[in-house]
Chains A and B, each alone.
Chain A
Amino acid sequence: MFDCFRMVHEAKTESGPMAAGLANPAAAPALQNYQLLPKPTGDGELLEISMGPQHPSTHGVFRMDVVLDGERVVKLKPVFGYLHRNHEKIAEGTSYLSSIPYTDRLDYFCSMTNNWAYCLSVEKLAGLQVPERAEYLRVILAELTRLQNHASLCGFLTQDMGASGTPLMYAFREREKILDLFEAISGARMMCNFMRFGGLRCDAPIGWLEQVKKVVAEFPAFLDEFAALLNQNEILMSRTQNVGVLSKELAISAGITGPMLRASGVNYDLRKVDKYGIYDRFEFKVPLGDHGDVYDRYMMRVLEMRESIKILQQALPQIPDGPIVDPKAKLRGFRPKAGEAYGRIEAPKGELGFYLISDGSPNPYRYRVRPPSFVNLTILEDMCLGHTVGDIIIILGSVDIVLGEVDR
């Protein structure tokens, strides 16, 4: 369907039993010899434990009610809502403009893409045209967001596996360079509040694009370093391969989107499907996973970062001069005519959509967020069943959740 490539585990067959079992599914029984824990017998007593919301590895205030037979999970119930702050209802009570800073706080790693999704739906509602330069800057900012989100996810995921700090530190070192770029253009590192209906708040400062070029040129070196550090690491592979397998069928029927869906082998990327903004002008491939396990989800992020760099390298030289906001867009007294609109983009975590109904008043009649990590989290039990408590942590880590977005 779309331009994609299939990811193959570069596991060396001779390098050990854990890698051998995965490159060749037929050889999988060899893994059984390395089963340290006994299989659940079913006659033991069940133990119900509550993980979170203060657990350090749940990526925020997230709780899981886990029922264990020995060390194996037999039931898992995700409990969320601890960070609920009434985002949708607040947005229905304020003007369209005043909701933009609140969208920053949904997924606080990727405020730029949150802004974009919201602005896209308002632009559909009001029929605004985004100027060329603003479209290019939006793509650049969104891809930088994807880079820093995936880099920090790889760091957090390995942190969950017990690689205590080092990969996370390296990832955050790179993330900080991108956040410096965000601060230079928008004034804030994380709560950027930068995109506006019909364009952007202001133009990039002088010399900013050169800084971006420098950061983008240096980024592959980090990816190579990270690959040497971890990608083929035997401990990482034995912890992640064949853990938390999500089948293609289940992923589709559960509405999973983003890197998690593509890790299960479904060729679906909104940048290719919707071609929102100007994504049809860039050549990039969609990496696909083979197994749908945690290792595929990890590698998916690594490969997507390489594709994001390709997009950035194409977008940066092409960027034209011109206005950055539609002259028809109004800041004060913005009242789109009655109607409804759904704007969606491929956020780093999946499909982020905003559904708006306008009744012609200054504030939306209905405002609904479709958060990717909330929907991706609903499948957690199916991935965790039969695995150990230690595996739950990395399966949860590979989903890539941010509780600000899950709970809203």
Chain B
Amino acid sequence: MLGEQIIKGLAVTAKNFFGSYVSEERLPTLQYPEERQTLPEASRQFPFLVFDGDDPMKGLRCVACQICEKECPPKCIYIVKSKDKRVDYKGQMQLYPATFDIDLSVCMSCQICVEVCPFESIKMDTDFELSNSDRFGGLLVHKQQLAKSNEHYRKIHPNDAAISDAALAVEVAKAQAKAKADAETKAKVAAETKAKAAAQPAPAA
């Protein structure tokens, strides 16, 4: 019969229509600002800079190596290296970013900066409510706004943060072992030179 399949199709539509009043999974609407979806842990929006300790500016892990600036596909990161050096988390003297800006209107949330960073210092945030009435200045965020604590990172990405913390602990242990070994060699060399110095006058005399 002509039109039989149309009626069959309309039955499907009717089933879906009435089903939407009965079945819970057919009611996916969330009343947004009051109700919120739980985001998956991998969720990513825009980058932030991780700092350790209490002072955001002093504790920044970033050493201004500019790898992320170079690798960033849309080139939205702008870094100026500092003139002086300061002690980093490993106890070594390192540069720090005098300026670290990210233009959020250019950033495409691709996470390449996070992957290439060798210092675990830039990570992806999950905050997406960043609308701003200032179109140019408001979306250009500086290091003061970008700096967020490691606790914040642990909260939003617990699994990734555990891996990152473990990697840093290894680095610190390595650096300490190296410092210790260095100190030992230094002491040894110093002792040897001293011994030599002590031994040298003997043949002359």
Contact = CB atoms under 8 A, between A and B. Distances in A.
Interface of A: 15-16, 94-95, 97-102, 104, 166, 170, 180, 183-188, 191, 193, 201-202, 205, 225, 228-230, 232-235, 331-332
Interface string B98-116: 0000000000111110011
Contact of A235 (B6, B11, B67, B124): B6
Contacts of B11: 228
Given A98-B73, A102-B73, A332-B116, A187 B5 contact: no
27 contacts: A15-B1, A15-B4, A16-B2, A95-B71, A97-B116, A98-B112, A99-B73, A102-B73, A104-B110, A183-B43, A184-B40, A185-B42, A186-B42, A187-B44, A188-B109, A193-B110, A201-B115, A202-B42, A205-B40, A205-B41, A228-B9, A232-B5, A232-B8, A234-B3, A234-B6, A235-B6, A331-B115
B91 interface: no
Given A97-B112, A233-B6, 11 more contacts: A16-B2, A95-B70, A97-B71, A101-B108, A185-B42, A191-B108, A193-B111, A201-B115, A232-B8, A233-B5, A332-B71
B109 A191 contact: yes
B16 A170 contact: yes
A253 B67 CA distance: 47
* 4 shortest interchain CB distances as A-B pairs: A101-B110, A187-B42, A187-B44, A184-B40
Contacts of A186: 42
B9 A98 contact: no
B72 A98 contact: yes
Contacts of A102: 73
B10 to A, nearest CB: 9
A193 B115 CA distance: 12
Contacts of A15: 1-2, 4
B12 interface: yes
A100 B74 CA distance: 12
A202 B160 CA distance: 10
B9 A233 contact: yes
How many residues of B sit at the interface, in one of the four size bands? Answer: 20 to 34
A368 to B, nearest CB: 18
Contacts of A98: 71-73, 112
Contact of B2 (A184, A225, A234): A234
Contacts of B1: 15
B118 interface: yes
Contacts of A332: 67, 71, 116, 118
A104 to B, nearest CB: 8
B43 A187 contact: yes
Nearest to A193: B110
Interface in B66-121: 67, 70-73, 108-112, 115-116, 118
Contacts of B124: 187
A185 B115 CA distance: 16
A183 B42 contact: yes
B144 interface: no
A331 B111 CA distance: 13
A114 B43 CA distance: 21
B176 interface: no
B153 to A, nearest CB: 15
Contacts of A230: 9
A188 B73 contact: no
B61 to A, nearest CB: 17
Given A95-B71, A98-B73, A205-B41, A229 B118 contact: no
B193 interface: no
B9 A101 contact: no
B73 A187 contact: no
Max count, chain B CB within 10 A of own CB: residue among A16, A98, A166, A205: A98
B185 interface: no
Contacts of B2: 15-16, 234
A78 to B, nearest CB: 29
B40 A183 contact: yes
B13 A166 contact: yes
A19 B41 CA distance: 51
Contacts of B44: 187-188
Interface in B136-155: none
A101 B73 contact: yes
Contacts of A184: 40, 42
